[in-house]
């Protein structure tokens, strides 16, 4: 609050305003305790100093995300901060750990997508921008870490967005809590699916909201030990039962009534329903439909939601039978009966509705009438039936309707809870409370009393929580807070609920007495609480009373308090409905135990609600609370409208201002030492320049200014209310004195300089002007005498000349005006005629253009459709061509088709020739007719001209005669006849023009048809060529397949005739050579020369001498030896991976690729999998990536699919569909000149010397598995590097703070600054070091450079996404100094890319384009001068409008104090974003880090890999 010492002339302050709540202004004058203020809206206001508040002129332009950071924590500061953020579409703001959510009344999908949820997952509270996800994340983490249940309290008035906020909370909790499914649906889905049902039966249109919840809801989301959602339950509070019978204009009753009236026709006829206007419970208001809402559609949606929730079709029918019965029940009217004080149905209409109600409820109509019109009184002697008057019967009818609806709603809630299911073993839960806010209307009844009672209870809980948070903050900073008083509202709660003297207790007592009325109840309240400070008796009413709640005074009307508080069911109603033949209705009214019926224990709504509220508070007290206050910015329910007065009232009702009062009772202003010294260091520069600690400097500054009551914590300075304003006033005074001193010196210097120059010039000018004046004076005296004479003659001459000129001018003017009028008329007629001609030509041109466009579009559509059919036919032909037996038949068909197409082509040519001849003849005819018509037109025009000339001459030459009248008649007749001829000629001309137009149109159509047929002819010729080519290809395939079949038969014969000795001997020779060398690489000469025939011949005698082993045993031994060999780290020979070469040569020597069944492939794959399993060692992964990729290359070059491979065609197709499968397919195009030299001189001829092997299914499967492992190893290496640099990226986005004091410490400042700069980029250097080590590892293991380049491209893309998203989510990062820090770090990365060279870094640097352009925008100067076109096209062409808007609004200059872009640019960005949202374009400003998409991008690299093989293989030949 402002004080006289804080407010001076020139201070910027806030003052109250009736229309704007608060308005800013400048103090222009002080008069004692009053101040005269010039407001920003042009008014001059006088206010008391105690009623004005200081304004922070250094507040950030985009506001603060946590209002505890405000320099002045008061009502206008809070309101202004919310308004600034709302204008920037920042709808969430913190107040400590309380979230304020302002309803934007528009969709903001970028705030709630999966990427945003991922960003807030696990993020510390307050680190990112305020969001509802942050509150849910804190609650979830606290529940997991501490094992304590949490609750989230969502409050606000109708239309503030409570329900949507609750949905977002549950979505995020489901995102965190896993997916425990129940009957195919998750728990959170079931809870969300129950919303349409509860909204249909519990929501209604009110004055402020079209879908207002008229009940409170507490959703308990239960979690298991693993933190996954395992169950849920919904608790409801205080359904507004009176709305069933009473509504006011322009509100509506509950939605379900209108939905049923808009049901399908068979439903309406079934329940005998009609227009809502025909029902008494609905026609009390003139509002029957909602704008933009279809009740018929919502009815079907509600039925679907009931199906999903688990309500059977039979139960649904029963539910809507009850709803229809309530509507019919409301239309029963009563009139006086024959007996005294009796009542009967008024007319036949009432009897019809009575019978319909009884039919729908399946009870006796007579019994229903007795239950409504009579009461049974049981005495010890007898049972007495008492009749009710019409008014009593009406009250009984409405009571029955309210009771039925209330029981129905309770049944629905119980059914939903049973459907969702609760977890009895759950130890922790998160409760989401969606409850009505504080209400204060013109007429406030019992419902508002209960709602405000609830909010008083919740406000007390809220106040205790806020005070607890304040205590924790003070304890954390180790300051003394024992003397701070706590603001409490216990006196209001005692007034309402205290026993036995509270309002609820007095209301129950009044309800128990039959003769009590609302007047006696009000008088009882007046007597009991006449001295209570919170209870006020109105002066002009005898039944109303006012309670001073925390949010303001509310006037209650007690007229219906007693009726609405009674909760007992009339026994007649209970007996009637419990005996219903409908099991559903009878279930709503179960028979009560005999003891209950005998006991007359009173039950009331107030007591029951008080008990429910007590249970709710116990639940909340056992949980850790979190608060979300929803605010409705305007009553028009439209976006971009911020009503200050309305929002201040909601903040007051929501308890936010109460929380501010609690904060103001302690230390409302908290500043970190760094910020405090930066702002107030000018008050004591000598202390700042001394070599002191930050904490000591802060204390000395405050002591020097004589402030009392402040506290110095561990990291912050805590100031009492008003002290911040006092320090700002002192600071403003210091800055003002310094400015005045500078101005004084500058003005003195300028004034003296100007005076000397002016004096010198003045003397010189004076001397010149005095001589000049003397000469002028003499000359003037001479001329004066002559002028007098001349004037006399001139005046006489001018008078005569003026008269003559005036006369002539009059005549000329008259002539000109008449001529101008004539010309104007002529011009108008000429323009009218020209306009008509232009309109005619334009309409003709427009029609012709539209026809041409339509025709062109039709042709394009036809071409595409025919192309699609042709492609489909081509696919069928290809599939048919795969089978060898069908090729000849296809060939015959194609030949027939070619002959047919040839015949059609000749026919088309013949038709084309005929058409051209016909076209030529038609054109000739049309041209001849056109020429003849033109000749006729010319003759007609000439004749017309001659006739006109003759008529004109006749008129002119006619002599004047005595019979003048008769001559005029003859001339007139002649003119008429000529005019008729002219008109007929015009008509004929018009007809000829139409014929010419028709001829031209037919000519154009003929031309277009010719062009179209030419196109068709060309297409037909192209198809013929294509079919001929496909036919030739199929013939080639057929011949190839026949030759392959012959080769396979020959091989089968040769294999069957080959001796087994050769096979066993060859296998044994391999084992012996392996045993002699220890392992295959041990003997450099013979170890890998597996094509040497001398070795085989040398081993033949040994095979004959020793007993032969079976072939299977020898194969097992060979495989064991190979597996043991490759399991070791064999290293590289030069640049060549040894293991890959050994595997390949062994498999080739053993002919493993050509066998139908073998286990060697599975064992090799298993060995590779065991080597890389759970490996965090990049060296091992890089080693196997090099070997696997080399082996894959060799397999692709050698293996050739055979007919046997057709056993698994689907597997082959899946191989080519994968990333590395496409890579291996590209190897088929390897140039023949590539020479892959193998280890120790083996296979000196290279890959081109290898013969291709027809691979069987196991070999092809092995290649697919190897491809998958290459992909897996590649991903593991990339992810390991991501994990290594991720912690450093979080530290690299925001510069470490260096206090002002540490930058001004004596002569060692330059050394300190250089050391600080080194410390600043330490994190960036850590990233560079990780990248360097990773590159060295890949180089050491000879990983192909194209793979290295792709890895670093994806890593830099990951860095770009992480840094850019963090920049947009954290406002403190969008500063000028932070931009310089990140820019220096990016320079380190650029230097690393330069050193790594393009061979390994590639285009990795280009992947940082988003963060580079964003940082470039932050550090650029003169932002307000930049236009939107310059920003979006020159500075930041990659960034979207949403991203530019986000950066522009979050930017703040902490170094030079400059501003962001101009308001015009901001408004233009907002317009563009609105257009994008209307076009259904996603307006998310976050980047997507999708590794799967990166892998797909990687596939494009491998499809072009064979073009790089020449460079890569040159290393193999060295």
> How many alpha carbons lie under 13 Å from residue 272 in its C-beta half-sphere?
17
Q: How far is CA 1447 from CA 1297, 1414, 1473, in A?
A: 21, 8, 14
All residues at 6 or more sequence positions from 898 whose CB lies less than 8 Å from its CB, including other chains: 1024, 1027, 1028, 1031
Helix (H) / strand (E) element for 234: namely strand 229-237
Give the active site residue among 68, 95, 195, 213. Answer: 213
Active site residue 703: no
Contact between 23 and 36 under an 8 Å Cβ cutoff? The reply is no
Q: Assess contact for 521 and 566: CB atoms under 8 A.
A: no
* Helix, strand counts (H, E) of the chain: 49, 30
Residues pairing with 434 in the sheet: 154, 217
The encoded tokens of residue 303 equal 């039925």
Q: CB–CB of 1253/1199 below 8 Å?
A: yes
Residue 213 appears among annotated catalytic residues: yes
Out of 11, 95, 149, 163, pick the active-site residue.
163
Q: Is 337 a catalytic residue?
A: no
Catalytic pick among 220, 439, 447, 908: 439
Residue 774: count other Cβ atoms within 10 Å of its Cβ: 10
Residue 444 among the catalytic residues: no
* Active-site annotation holds for 313: no
First to last CA, the chain: 84
Parallel, antiparallel or unpaired: strands 98-102 and 624-631:
parallel
Of the listed 63, 156, 231, 437, which one is catalytic? Answer: 437
Calculate the alpha carbon distances from 1200 to 505, 619, 1222, 1259, 1513 in Å. Answer: 93, 72, 16, 10, 22
Q: Out of 93, 212, 1178, 1230, which one is annotated catalytic? A: 212
Q: Give me the catalytic one of 159, 431, 654, 655.
A: 159
**At 678, which helix (H) or strand (E)?**
helix 673-680
Q: Is there a contact between 345 and 333 (Cβ–Cβ < 8 Å)?
A: yes
* Cis peptide preceding 588, ω within 30 of 0: no
Secondary structure (DSSP) of 1406-1466: GGGHHHHHHHHHHH-S-GGG--HHIIIIII-SSS-HHHHHHHHHH-B-SSS----S-HHHH
| E strand residue ranges, 806-915 | none
Candidates 907, 911, 906, 900; CA nearest to 1027 is 900
Burial class (CB in 10 A: 0-12, 13-18, 19+), 1326: middle
Q: Are 390 and 607 in contact (CB under 8 A)?
A: no
Handedness of CA 682, 687, 691, 693 (dihedral sign): negative
* Separation between Cα atoms, residue 1383 and residue 543, nearest integer Å: 72
Read off φ and ψ for residue 222, nearest 5 degrees: -95, 145
How far apart CA 1404 and CA 1425 sit, in angstroms, is 33
Q: Which helix (H) or strand (E) holds 717?
A: strand 716-719
Is 209 among the residues known to form the active site?
Answer: yes
Catalytic entry in 129, 158, 210, 999: 158
Distance of CA 688 to the CA centre of its chain: 47
Catalytic status, residue 666: no
Going by DSSP bridges, is the β-strand pair 383-387/212-213 parallel, antiparallel, or unpaired?
unpaired
d(CA 107, CA 101): 14
Beta strand spans in 1175-1332 (E): 1199-1201, 1253-1255
Annotated catalytic residue: which of 97, 209, 623, 1224?
A: 209
Q: CB under 8 Å, gap of 24 or more: what pairs does 706-715 form?
A: 710/667, 711/474, 711/477, 711/479, 711/480, 711/667, 712/479, 713/476, 713/477, 713/478, 713/479, 714/476, 714/477, 714/478, 715/477, 715/672, 715/673
User: Is 437 marked active-site?
Assistant: yes
Residues that are catalytic: 158-159, 163, 209, 212-213, 437, 439
């Amino acid at each position: 609050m402002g004080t006289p010492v804080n407010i001076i002339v020139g201070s910027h302050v806030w003052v109250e305003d009736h229309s704007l709540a608060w308005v800013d202004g400048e103090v222009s004058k002080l008069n004692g305790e009053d101040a005269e203020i010039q407001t920003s809206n042009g008014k001059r206001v006088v206010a008391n100093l105690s009623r004005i508040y200081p304004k922070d002129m250094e507040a950030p332009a985009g506001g603060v995300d946590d209002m505890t950071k405000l320099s002045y924590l008061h009502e206008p500061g809070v309101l202004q901060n919310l308004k600034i953020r709302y204008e920037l579409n920042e709808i969430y703001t913190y107040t400590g750990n309380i979230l304020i959510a302002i309803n934007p009344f528009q969709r903001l999908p970028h705030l709630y997508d999966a990427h945003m949820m991922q960003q807030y997952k696990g993020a510390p509270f307050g680190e990112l921008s305020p969001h509802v996800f942050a509150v849910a994340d804190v609650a979830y983490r606290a529940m997991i870490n501490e094992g304590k249940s949490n609750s989230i309290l969502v409050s606000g008035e109708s239309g503030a967005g409570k329900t949507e906020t609750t949905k977002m909370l549950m979505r995020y909790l489901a995102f965190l809590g896993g997916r425990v499914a129940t009957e195919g649906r998750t728990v959170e889905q079931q809870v969300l699916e129950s919303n349409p049902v509860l909204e249909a039966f519990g929501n209604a249109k009110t004055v402020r909201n079209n879908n207002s919840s008229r009940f409170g809801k507490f959703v308990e989301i239960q979690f298991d030990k693993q933190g996954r959602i395992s169950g849920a339950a919904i608790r409801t509070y205080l359904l507004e039962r009176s709305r069933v019978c009473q509504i006011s204009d322009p509100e509506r009753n509950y939605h379900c009534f209108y939905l049923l009236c808009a049901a399908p026709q068979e439903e309406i006829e079934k329940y005998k329903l009609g227009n809502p206007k025909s029902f008494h419970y609905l026609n009390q208001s003139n509002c029957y439909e909602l704008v933009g809402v279809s009740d018929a559609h919502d009815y079907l949606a509600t039925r679907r939601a009931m199906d999903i929730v688990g309500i059977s079709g039979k139960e649904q029918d029963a539910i809507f039978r009850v709803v229809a019965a309530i509507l019919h029940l409301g239309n029963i009217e009563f009139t006086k009966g024959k007996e005294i004080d009796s009542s009967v149905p008024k007319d036949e209409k009432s009897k019809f509705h009575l019978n319909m109600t009884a039919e729908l409820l399946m009870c006796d109509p007579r019994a229903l009438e007795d239950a409504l019109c009579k009461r049974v009184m049981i005495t010890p002697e007898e049972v007495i039936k008492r009749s009710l008057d019409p008014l009593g019967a009406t009250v009984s009818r409405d009571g029955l309707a309210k009771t039925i609806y209330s029981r129905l709603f309770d049944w629905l809630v119980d059914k939903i809870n049973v459907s969702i299911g609760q977890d009895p073993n759950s130890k922790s839960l998160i409760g989401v409370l969606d409850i009505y806010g504080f209400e204060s209307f013109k007429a406030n009844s019992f419902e508002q009393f209960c709602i405000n009672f609830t909010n008083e209870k919740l406000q007390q809980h809220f106040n205790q929580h806020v005070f607890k948070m304040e205590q924790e903050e003070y304890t954390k900073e180790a300051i003394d807070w024992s003397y701070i008083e706590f603001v409490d509202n216990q006196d209001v709660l005692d007034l309402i609920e205290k026993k036995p003297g509270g309002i609820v207790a007095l209301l129950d007592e009044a309800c128990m007495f039959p003769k009590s009325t609302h007047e006696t109840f009000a008088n009882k309240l007046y007597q009991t609480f006449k001295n209570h400070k919170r209870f006020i008796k109105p002066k002009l009413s005898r039944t109303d009373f006012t309670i001073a709640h925390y949010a303001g005074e509310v006037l209650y009307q007690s007229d219906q308090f007693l009726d609405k508080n009674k909760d007992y069911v009339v026994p007649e109603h209970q007996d009637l409905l419990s005996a219903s033949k409908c099991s559903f209705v009878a279930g709503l009214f179960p028979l009560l135990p005999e003891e209950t019926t005998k006991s007359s224990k009173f039950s009331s709504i107030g007591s029951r609600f008080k008990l429910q509220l007590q249970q709710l508070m116990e639940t909340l007290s056992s949980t850790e609370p979190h608060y979300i206050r929803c605010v409705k910015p305007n009553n028009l329910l439209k976006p971009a409208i911020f009503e200050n007065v309305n929002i201040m009232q909601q903040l007051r009702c929501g308890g936010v201002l109460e929380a501010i009062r609690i904060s103001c009772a302690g230390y409302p202003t908290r500043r970190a030492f760094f910020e405090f010294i930066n702002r107030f260091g000018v008050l004591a520069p000598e202390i700042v320049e001394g070599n002191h600690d930050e904490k000591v400097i802060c204390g000395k500054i405050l002591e020097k200014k004589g402030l009392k009551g402040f506290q110095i914590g561990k990291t912050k300075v805590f100031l009492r209310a008003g002290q911040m304003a006092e320090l700002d006033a002192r600071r403003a005074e210091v800055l003002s004195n310094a400015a005045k001193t500078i101005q004084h010196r500058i003005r003195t210097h300028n004034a003296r300089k100007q005076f000397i120059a002016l004096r010198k010039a003045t003397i010189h000018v004076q001397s010149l002007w005095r001589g000049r004046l003397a000469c002028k004076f003499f000359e003037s005296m001479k001329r004066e005498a002559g002028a007098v004479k001349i004037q006399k003659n001139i005046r006489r001459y001018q008078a005569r000349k003026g008269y003559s000129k005036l006369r002539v001018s009059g005549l000329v003017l008259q002539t000109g005006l008449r001529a101008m009028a004539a010309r104007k008329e002529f011009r108008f007629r000429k323009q009218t005629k020209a306009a008509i001609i232009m309109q005619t030509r334009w309409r003709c041109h427009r029609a012709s253009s539209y026809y041409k466009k339509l025709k062109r579009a039709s042709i394009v559509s036809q071409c595409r459709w025919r192309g699609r059919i042709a492609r489909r036919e081509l696919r069928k032909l290809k599939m048919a061509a795969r089978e060898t037996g069908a090729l000849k038949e296809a060939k015959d068909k194609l030949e027939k088709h070619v002959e047919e197409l040839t015949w059609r082509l000749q026919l088309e040519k013949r038709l084309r020739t005929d058409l051209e001849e016909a076209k030529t003849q038609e054109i000739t005819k049309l041209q001849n007719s056109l020429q003849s018509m033109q000749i006729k037109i010319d003759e007609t025009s000439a004749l017309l001209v001659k006739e006109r000339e003759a008529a004109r001459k006749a008129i002119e030459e006619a002599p004047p005669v005595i019979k003048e009248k008769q001559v005029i008649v003859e001339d007139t007749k002649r003119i008429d006849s000529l005019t008729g001829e002219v008109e007929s000629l015009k008509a004929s001309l018009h007809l000829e023009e139409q014929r010419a137009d028709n001829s031209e149109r037919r000519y154009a159509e003929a031309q277009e048809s010719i062009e179209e047929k030419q196109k068709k002819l060309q297409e037909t010729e192209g198809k013929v060529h294509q079919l001929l080519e496909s036919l030739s290809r199929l013939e080639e395939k057929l011949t190839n397949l026949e030759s392959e079949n012959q080769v396979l038969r020959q091989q089968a014969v040769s294999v069957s005739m080959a001796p087994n000795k050769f096979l066993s001997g060859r296998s044994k020779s391999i084992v012996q050579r392996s045993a002699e060398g220890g392992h295959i690489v041990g003997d450099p000469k013979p170890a890998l020369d597996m094509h040497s025939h001398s070795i085989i011949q040398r081993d033949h005698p040994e095979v004959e001498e020793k007993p032969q082993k079976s072939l299977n045993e020898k194969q097992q031994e060979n495989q064991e030896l190979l597996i043991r060999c490759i399991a070791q780290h064999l290293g590289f020979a030069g640049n060549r991976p040894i293991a890959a070469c050994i595997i390949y040569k062994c498999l080739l020597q053993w002919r493993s690729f050509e066998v139908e069944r073998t286990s060697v492939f599975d064992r090799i794959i298993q060995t590779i999998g065991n080597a890389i399993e759970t490996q965090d060692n990049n060296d091992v992964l890089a080693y196997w990536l090099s070997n696997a990729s080399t082996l894959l290359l060799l397999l692709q070059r050698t293996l050739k699919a055979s007919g046997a491979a057709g056993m698994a065609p689907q597997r082959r197709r899946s191989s080519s569909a994968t990333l590395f499968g496409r890579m291996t397919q590209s190897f088929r195009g390897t140039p023949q000149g590539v020479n892959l030299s193998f280890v120790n001189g083996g296979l000196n001829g290279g890959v081109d010397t290898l013969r291709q092997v027809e691979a069987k299914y196991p070999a092809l499967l092995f290649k697919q598995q190897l491809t998958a492992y290459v992909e897996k190893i590649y991903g593991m290496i990339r992810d390991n590097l991501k994990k290594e640099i991720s912690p450093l990226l979080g530290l690299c986005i925001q510069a470490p703070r260096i206090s002002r004091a540490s930058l001004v410490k004596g002569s060692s400042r330059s050394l300190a600054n250089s050391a600080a700069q080194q410390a600043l980029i330490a994190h960036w250097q850590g990233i560079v070091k990780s990248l360097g080590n990773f590159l060295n590892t890949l180089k050491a293991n000879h990983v192909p450079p194209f793979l290295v380049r792709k890895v670093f491209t994806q890593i830099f893309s990951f860095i770009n996404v992480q840094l850019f998203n963090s920049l947009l989510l954290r406002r403190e990062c969008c500063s000028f100094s932070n931009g310089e820090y990140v820019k220096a770090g990016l320079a380190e990365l650029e230097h690393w890319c330069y050193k790594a060279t393009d061979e390994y870094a590639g285009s990795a640097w280009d992947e940082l384009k988003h963060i580079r352009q964003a940082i470039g925008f932050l550090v650029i100067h003169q932002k307000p001068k930049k236009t939107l076109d310059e920003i979006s096209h020159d500075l930041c062409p990659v960034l979207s409008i949403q991203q530019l808007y986000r950066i522009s609004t979050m930017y703040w200059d902490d170094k030079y104090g400059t501003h962001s872009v101009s308001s015009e640019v901001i408004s233009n960005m907002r317009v563009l974003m609105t257009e994008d949202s209307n076009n259904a374009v996603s307006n998310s400003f976050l980047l997507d880090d999708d590794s799967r998409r990166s892998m797909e991008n990687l596939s494009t690299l491998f499809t072009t890999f064979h073009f790089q093989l020449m460079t890569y293989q040159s290393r193999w030949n060295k």
